[in-house]
Amino acid sequence: MEEVKVVIVGAGPSGLATSACLNYLSIPNIVLEKEDCYASLWKKRAYDRLCLHLAKDFCSLPLMSHSASTPTFMPRATFLEYVDNYVAKFNIKPRFHRNVEKAWLKEEGENMWRVEVRNIETGEMEVYASEFLVVASGENSVANMPEMNGLKTFRGGIVHSSLYKNGRDYEGKDVLVVGCGNSGMEISFDLSNYGARPSIVIRSPMHVVKRQMVYLGMVLRKCLPLDVVDTLLVGLAMVKFGDLSAHGIVRPKLGPMQFKALTGKTPVIDVGTISKIRSGEIKVFPQISNIKGDTVEFENGARKNFDAIVFATGYKSCANKWLKDYEVVLNERGMPRSQAPNHWKGDKNAYCVGLSMQGLAGVCADAKAVAQDISNIILTKLK
């Protein structure tokens, strides 16, 4: 059994940010990661054309800003170069191929947490004892695949967006994209560019904006009330896109920032998808009612044959599967049990980072708060 002050589970941006803050404060920590690299979601499970939708001002990790030469809106490769430099600068050394199978609370002595890990390369079990435990496996740890009537009968290809790279293999094919968030809308656009015939399922109201509008809104939010900023953003969106209800896209009653705060759903950043929907290059369908063979039936009675389905239905946290005493920091869905702004802090020296649904800005704030709290507890014991 190896003892360490802090165990961090996950080497995505959340785990890296937490480790960097702890290293800066000279607090020993170990980062455990089941994949063979850090930031695996960004490196291995992102489509080729992905760009960060938020400006670089809101996409920094703690203690290291982006350079002046970095584009305002970064492509994935630029962000990954930043992450590589970040890991090197703060001497972060994750232990890869470590699948955490169980973590539990042991109330004896200082090191109260036990973490049981399988080394995927050797097959051997490892046990770590720590005073503090940080859940940093993120809200995007497991692909979310919804259950649908008749899905097992579908004879075409089925893929989750985490495995989609580009539309090259779909040229000339009818492809249904399920999920109308940023990934779904951008994948539909990408499929069209590669000569596929994409359709997208839009089931609920959503805001559509340009990324410059979001940037403006986030800057103005620092000095203006939320409802004022939302009114401005809705007005700008109306000027840019007009009323999209005839195309199956309905705006929520709440403005984009209030809607995000209440539901966690971000506005869709248009990359050109809306013009293709208007032109008919991308078809819009409502909720799926049934699938039978190659035929998909929709709630409005429409039916259409498809060659493939891409599920852009997001991810979910799985931390409460391996964290046996998860209720000290998480709820039954693997998300923070407490509301913001103290969502990151649990009982029994347990913490979570990157589960605030606030993107990289939320990761940055969480990591700094967690590291400072751990430092305060350690310093108090030394007095």
Query: Which pLDDT value is given to residue 110?
Result: 64
CA neighbours within 13 Å on the CB side: how many for 238? Answer: 8
φ, ψ of residue 350 in degrees (nearest 5):
-105, 140
Query: Which pLDDT value is given to residue 108?
Result: 64
Domain pair 2-141+317-382 / 145-311, same fold: yes
Show pLDDT as tens, one digit a residue, over the chain (383 residues): 899 999 999 999 999 999 999 999 999 999 999 999 999 999 999 999 999 989 999 999 999 999 999 999 999 999 999 999 999 999 999 999 999 999 999 876 666 899 999 999 999 999 999 999 999 998 777 888 999 999 999 999 999 999 999 999 999 999 999 999 999 999 999 999 999 999 999 999 999 999 999 999 999 999 999 999 999 999 999 999 999 999 999 999 999 999 998 888 899 999 999 999 999 999 999 999 999 999 999 999 999 999 999 999 998 888 989 999 999 999 998 999 999 899 999 999 999 999 998 899 999 999 999 999 999 999 998 87
Kindly give, in sequence order, each residue whose CB lies less than 8 Å from that of residue 154, ignoring residues fewer than 6 positions away. 291, 293, 294, 309
Note the CATH architecture for domain 145-311: 3-Layer(bba) Sandwich (3.50)
| CATH no. of 2-141+317-382 | 3.50.50.60
Q: What is the pTM of this model?
A: 0.92
Query: Which pLDDT value is given to residue 109?
Result: 60
Query: Which pLDDT value is given to residue 271?
Result: 95
Locate the domains of the chain by residue range: 2-141+317-382, 145-311
- Alpha helices per DSSP H over the chain: 13-24, 40-44, 76-89, 182-193, 211-220, 226-241, 256-263, 273-279, 319-322, 359-382
Distance CA 282, CA 275 (A): 9
